[in-house]
Amino acid sequence: MRSPLILAVSLLTLGLPNLTQAVEFWHSSTIWAGQGQCSAVFSFDSGLHEITDLRIAVKALSPEGETVLEGELAIDQFGQSSAERYADAFLEGEAVCAENLTIQIEEATARLDGRMIDLLATHSLTPRDFRPLPIRF
């Protein structure tokens, strides 16, 4: 009875890329983009996996839990070498200028090492809590 189960699990894992580290991402800054708009910058670490077609559907939530903006973080290609390990994606709009927003991930997919992966279902997307460094003169 256990052999078929072990075989099934083994076959399932053969279909997934060998991720030594999940794709990590963090909100690295929000900048004024002019015309009443702001741009939230999200940085991604590929963990040196070749990643293409990264698409993350997000919602920006107010402190009351209301959706104030929906959007997509998209990166066509990164992670092909250590020089291309990191990439940025942007969420832009007037609502992004507000403080205390929470970003909720709705869907996340990417092609990792040539295979299309649901990053949420495989627990391959990890948020990192970014803390800016103080700057002084």
Give the domain CATH number at 96.
Answer: 2.60.40
Tell me the pTM: 0.82
The per-residue pLDDT for 13 is: 44
Residue 59 sits in which domain range? 21-127
Q: What is the pLDDT averaged over residues 3-22?
A: 48
Q: Which one has a higher pLDDT value, 66 or 15?
A: 66
Q: Which one has a higher pLDDT value, 106 or 5?
A: 106
Identify whether 13 is part of a domain: no
Identify whether 9 is part of a domain: no
Phi first, then psi: give them for residue 3, nearest 5 degrees.
-60, -45
Identify whether 7 is part of a domain: no
Torsion angle in degrees (nearest 10) through CA of 73, 74, 78, 83: -50
Give the model confidence (pLDDT) of 13-57 as tens digits. 444 555 546 899 999 999 999 899 999 999 999 999 999 999 999
Tokens of 79: 């992670």
The per-residue pLDDT for 49 is: 92
**Number of domains the chain is built from:** 1
Give the model confidence (pLDDT) of 105-137 as tens digits. 999 999 987 899 999 999 999 999 888 888 999
18 burial level (CB within 10 Å; 0-12, 13-18, 19+): exposed
Give the model confidence (pLDDT) of 68-105 as tens digits. 999 999 999 999 999 999 999 999 999 999 989 999 99
Identify whether 8 is part of a domain: no
The per-residue pLDDT for 132 is: 82
